[in-house]
Amino acid sequence: MVSAEQLFDEMADAIEWLDDEKSMELVEQAISEEIDAVDIIEKGFTRGLKIVGDKFGTGEAFLTELVAAANIMEDVSERLSRELAVSDKRVEKKGVFLVGTVAGDVHTIGKNILKSLLEVNGFEVIDLGEDVPTKTIVEKVKEIKPDILGLSALMTTTITEQKNVIKALEEAGIRDSLKVMVGGAAVTEKWSGDIGADGYAENASDAIQLALQLLGGN
């Protein structure tokens, strides 16, 4: 039997080489070996996807390859979300979490993983989708009154929209009625502090811990 570490390496390679079939085989193998779904995503496939992203950034990969890798990642995440739902811990309700990817940004994979993990951990999640205008986010906060708002942004060009949302919440006089968490590949702890967010998490597992902390439950 191969070790989990070896499987993670194979997963990273499979997505890097855009091998959909092999990726799905590895997911099934890992599930049958009871490897944690979050580890499969974070230690395995995300690593390979980021390599494709880096290659795209340096001009070594084309947009079609980026799209192909993203499609594999979506299939993998969907399969693992189902697996997570099966293992749903049915914990008591922790709070309402409103989540969306900011205006100008269509990256959804990380947000969707975060959503699945929040649900498994007892949050009621309302997903506004991607490329969500700041105005819509503010309206939804007024309507839904969530405990936490999570803003995802993957690009250096769109993280400024996280700042705009916080400013708009302040202007609407509702900033203090909720906690705001920011995340996504282009976001840093420092950026989170600079724009007055309540917290940042590098990955979905840390985001759950942070969300619980912000609600005073941990």
Q: Is 54 in the site for ligand B12 (CB under 6 A)?
A: yes
Minimum CB separation from ligand B12 for residue 27, in Å? 15
Taking CB under 6 A as the criterion, which residues in 1-40 touch ligand B12?
Answer: none
Closer residue to ligand B12 (CB): 7 or 73: 73
Residue 186, CA atoms < 13 Å, CB-side half-sphere: 17
Minimum CB separation from ligand B12 for residue 185, in Å? 4
Pick from 192, 131, 138, 139: which is nearest to 168 by CA?
138
Q: In DSSP terms, which residues pair with 55 in a beta bridge?
A: none
Structure tokens at 108: 């959804």
Q: Is 56 in the site for ligand B12 (CB under 6 A)?
A: yes
Closer residue to ligand B12 (CB): 7 or 192: 192
Q: Is 47 in the site for ligand B12 (CB under 6 A)?
A: no
Could you give the string, one character per residue 153-172, with x where binding to ligand B12 holds by CB under 6 A and - elsewhere? -xxxx---------------
Taking CB under 6 A as the criterion, which residues in 65-84 touch ligand B12?
Answer: 66-67, 70, 73
Sorted by sequence, the CB contacts under 8 Å of residue 114 that are 6+ apart come out as 99, 150, 152, 183, 204, 207
Strands of the sheet with 148-152, listed across from one edge: 123-127, 95-101, 148-152, 179-183, 199-200
Structure tokens at 193: 């502090």
From candidates 181, 195, 208, 214, binder to ligand B12 by CB under 6 A: 181
User: Pseudo-torsion of CA 158, 163, 176, 116, nearest 10°?
Assistant: 20
The pairing of strands 148-152 and 95-101 is: parallel
Tell me how many helices (H) and strands (E) the chain has.
10, 5
CB-based contact 39:8 (threshold 8 Å): yes
Q: Is 217 in the site for ligand B12 (CB under 6 A)?
A: no
**Stretch of 6-14, 86-94, 109-117, 168-176 contacting ligand B12, by CB under 6 A:** 109-117
Q: Is 96 in the site for ligand B12 (CB under 6 A)?
A: no
Q: Is 126 in the site for ligand B12 (CB under 6 A)?
A: no
- Binding site residues, ligand B12, CB under 6 A: 42, 46, 49-50, 52-54, 56-57, 63, 66-67, 70, 73, 104-111, 113-114, 150-152, 154-157, 181-186, 201, 203-204, 207
